[in-house]
Amino acid sequence: MVVAGTRILVVGLGNTPLPGTRHSVGHLIIDALACKLGVRLSSERGGFTGTTTIDIGSTPVTITLFKPKALMNISGPPVSAALRKHALPPSSLIVIHDSLAHKPLTLSPKFGGSAGGHNGVRSIVAALGNDAGFHRLRVGIGRGGDAADYVLGRLEGRERAFWEGEGMERVWREIERVASGAVRG
């Protein structure tokens, strides 16, 4: 459950120098959410960020979108810094990241637990210390050949279109679900 009540930080993981790859699908989804919400992402020291306040039910919820500039495997420090900047606990964090363990075009929410072999999530867990209680939206990319080459491969056109459209809407529903829990909690 989100402790901060009506404020959440939504982070999309990716590699800024490698847009359009499977590994950067989190960045792609943040861009699509920014478009949906009318949020302009601005460049800051640690990443690209933008904030808006919307009504979830009848309660205003402040949502900050964030794309770390750091490479995927060292994204923990800028994510931790963004939480501190906004004075939010880890339970107010939603991290969107690629997942080899899930079929393409699927979304799997999770709260807490291990990094599941994902180096970007591992970096965030390490940066947050013992408090790994944050929300994760694992974006299925499937698995093919050498994992390193596969995740750095370009998203297929249908995958990109899905995550910019229907898939982003699925992500949005999960964000609303998390925020609704905060409003009720």
CATH superfamily to which 7-184 belongs = Peptidyl-tRNA hydrolase (3.40.50.1470)
Give the model's confidence band at 20: pLDDT under 50 very low, under 70 low, under 90 confident, else very high: very high
Say what the pLDDT of residue 101 is. 94
> Which helix (H) or strand (E) element contains residue 128?
helix 119-128
End-to-end CA distance of the chain: 7
Say what the pLDDT of residue 42 is. 98
Helix (H/G/I), strand (E/B), else coil: 51: strand
Question: What letters, b where the CB count within 10 A reaches 16 and e where it falls short, cover 17-42?
Answer: ebeebbbbbbbbbbbbbbeebebebe
Q: Helix, strand, coil shares of the chain as percentages rounded to 5?
A: 40, 25, 35
pLDDT digits (tens, 9 = 90+) for 93-137: 999 999 999 999 999 999 998 888 899 999 999 999 876 799 999
Task: Give, in degrees to the nearest 5, the angle at Cα 58 between 6 and 1.
Answer: 35
Interstrand relation of 47-56 and 42-43 (parallel, antiparallel or unpaired): antiparallel
pLDDT digits (tens, 9 = 90+) for 126-148: 999 876 799 999 999 999 888 88
What is the rounded distance in angstroms from the CA atom of residue 180 to the CA atom of residue 70?
Answer: 30
Say what the pLDDT of residue 131 is. 62
* 63 bridge partner residues: 8, 52
Mean pLDDT, residues 160-166: 97
What is the three-state SS of 156-174? CHHHHHHHHCHHHHHHHHH
Say what the pLDDT of residue 1 is. 41
pLDDT digits (tens, 9 = 90+) for 69-96: 999 999 999 999 999 999 999 999 999 9
Give the model's confidence band at 3: pLDDT under 50 very low, under 70 low, under 90 confident, else very high: very low
Q: By the 8 A CB rule, do 12 and 86 touch?
A: no
For tokens 């964090």, the residue is 93
Q: By the 8 A CB rule, do 150 and 144 touch?
A: yes
**Any idea which residues carry the catalytic annotation?**
23
- Arithmetic mean of pLDDT over the chain: 92
Say what the pLDDT of residue 182 is. 58
